[in-house]
Amino acid sequence: MGLFIPTIFKLLTPKIVNSIMDYVFKENELDLKVKKIQKKIKKLERLSHPRREFVACNKCKQQIKEK
């Protein structure tokens, strides 16, 4: 099994091997789309869940009730 993979790579032309390596290791169109979608999701999460603000109690100085 260990010699099987290198033998296959020797049989394939360098052009095919290079295109496979580029597809695996370089960013392609799908990678860019996924990154763009992840940015949109993070932005929407921030907008949909705004940070809660609390009021400090005058007596004990603990945070209580939202403004």
As a whole number of angstroms, the distance between CA 63 and CA 51 comes to: 14
**What's the start-to-end Cα distance of the chain, in Å?**
67
Q: Percentage of the chain with pLDDT > 90?
A: 24
- pLDDT on residue 42: 93
As a whole number of angstroms, the distance between CA 58 and CA 37 comes to: 45
pLDDT over 90 at 35, yes or no = yes
pLDDT over 60 at 23, yes or no = yes
pLDDT over 70 at 1, yes or no = no
Question: Residue 65 belongs to what H/E stretch?
Answer: strand 63-66
Residue 5's pLDDT band (cuts 50, 70, 90) = confident
Q: Which two tokens stand for residue 22?
A: 């580029």
As a whole number of angstroms, the distance between CA 50 and CA 53 comes to: 9
- Contact criterion met (CB below 8 Å) for 37 and 48: no
